Amino acid sequence: MTIYNFSAGPAVLPEPVLKKAQEELLDYQGSGMSVMELSHRSSLFEEIIANAEKLLRKLMNIPENYHVLFLQGGASLQFSAVPLNLAQNKKALYINTGSWAEKAIAAAKDIHTVDTQVIASSEDKNFAYIPQITKDLLDKDAAYLHITTNETIGGISYQKIPDTGDIPLVADMSSNILTNEYKVSDFGVIYAGAQKNMGPAGLTVVIIRDDLLNEQPLFAPMLDYRLQADKHSMYNTPPTFSIYMAKLVFEWLQDLGGIPQILKYNQQKAGLLYDAIDRSALFQSPVNKNDRSLTNIPFLTNSDTLNQKFIQLAQEQGFENLKGHRSVGGMRASLYNAFPLEGVQALVDFMEKFEKAHGGE
């Protein structure tokens, strides 16, 4: 039975990447050592991390005045690190678009030296849409405006990045980094956990513009962006194997034709599923059509019993991790870069069969 893994993260990885990692797991490039056994100060690992950065810079077209950091702790640690580094004794503005934006906001509010303000929210409609951000909402003195480019749980996404003028835009891009053609220069800081589109869990990428690096050292060295930039992500031992896996994923994406190609592929996959939802009398999307995510697609019937039956029967057919998050209910299909088109086609076929058999219940 073919397994299709719709997990929201950690998520499906490209098969050629896993095969390559398997092949050289005990002997990396004839060294007689596993990548996991390499000293992070060895020339072999230094080449891996340098190439990972080079590939990511090329894929995302990252300008030279941005640093690329390979850190740990997930986006959740960045929820604290961003305000600590950028907004102490300043104002930090946030847009609330759902579960992940809320976590970022809560972490900023926990820091008493930061004046955290939520300037727009779609909570009124259970986060089914992206609020409009107009320049008059922005306080000129703010240290930054924070957005969540894609809500993994809610399934909404910014189709257009707000223009914030001189106010640095900070983005949690965990669930759609490398899936969309974003312009890095529109952002001051981008951060993302790796476990959706870049590699295994345990690696966090931070892309930060030079002039936003903290001038004063932070009280916690591991959270200090300038220190991490000065040390090229090697202030301490980085998550070496995860960086190696990310490098392999970046190579795979490069070979496929980079972001322009994967974007087309992602649009094809998402389009297939949204079309099936839209023509169905049983399934529906809970979110605003204009703000639909390309990577995380919640859908549901109007019956919890039917949702559960669908998830159960789907799993029996090899469709794994389709259960939606409890805050939205129903189902969710996460279609990251490595998820294959055939899997979406198979799901759509299964949905049609299910609707015929159970639609009238």
Residue 196 is among the residues annotated as catalytic for this protein = yes
Determine if 48 is a binding residue for a copy of itself (CB under 8 A).
Answer: no
Determine if 333 is a binding residue for a copy of itself (CB under 8 A).
Answer: no
306 SS3 class: helix
Q: Which of 115, 196, 252, 269 is catalytic?
A: 196
Residue 213 · residue 67 · CB < 8 Å = yes
CA torsion, points 36, 39, 42, 45, in degrees to nearest 10?
30
Site string for a copy of itself, 53-92 (x = CB under 8 A): -------------------xxxxxx-xx---x--------
> Which residue do the tokens 């894929």 mark?
59
Residue 315 · residue 322 · CB < 8 Å = yes
213-242 binders of a copy of itself (CB under 8 A): 217-223, 235-242
DSSP 8-state symbol, 349:
H
Side-chain-facing half-sphere of 21: CA atoms under 13 Å: 20
Among 149, 195, 197, 295, binds a copy of itself (CB under 8 A): 195
Residue 100 is among the residues annotated as catalytic for this protein = yes
What stretch of H or E contains 103? helix 99-109
Q: Which of 20, 54, 100, 291 is catalytic?
A: 100
Residue 250 · residue 55 · CB < 8 Å = yes
Site string for a copy of itself, 14-33 (x = CB under 8 A): -x--xx-xx--xx----xxx
Among 161, 201, 256, 313, binds a copy of itself (CB under 8 A): 201
Site string for a copy of itself, 97-116 (x = CB under 8 A): ---------xx--xxx----
Q: Which two tokens stand for residue 304?
A: 């919890």
Determine if 136 is a binding residue for a copy of itself (CB under 8 A).
Answer: no
Determine if 346 is a binding residue for a copy of itself (CB under 8 A).
Answer: no
Q: How far apart are CA 137 and CA 113, in angstroms?
A: 22
SS3 content of the chain, % helix, strand, coil (to 5): 40, 15, 40
Binding annotation: 41, 75-76, 100, 152, 172, 195, 236-237
Which of the ranges 3-11, 141-149, 304-312, 345-353 carries the binding residues for a copy of itself, by CB under 8 A?
3-11
Residue 189 · residue 208 · CB < 8 Å = yes
Angle at 37 between CA 35 and CA 39, to 5 degrees: 95
Which residues contact a copy of itself by CB under 8 A?
1-3, 5, 7-13, 15, 18-19, 21-22, 25-26, 31-34, 36-40, 42, 72-77, 79-80, 84, 106-107, 110-112, 193, 195, 199-203, 217-223, 235-242, 245, 318, 320-321
Residues classed as catalytic: 100, 172, 196
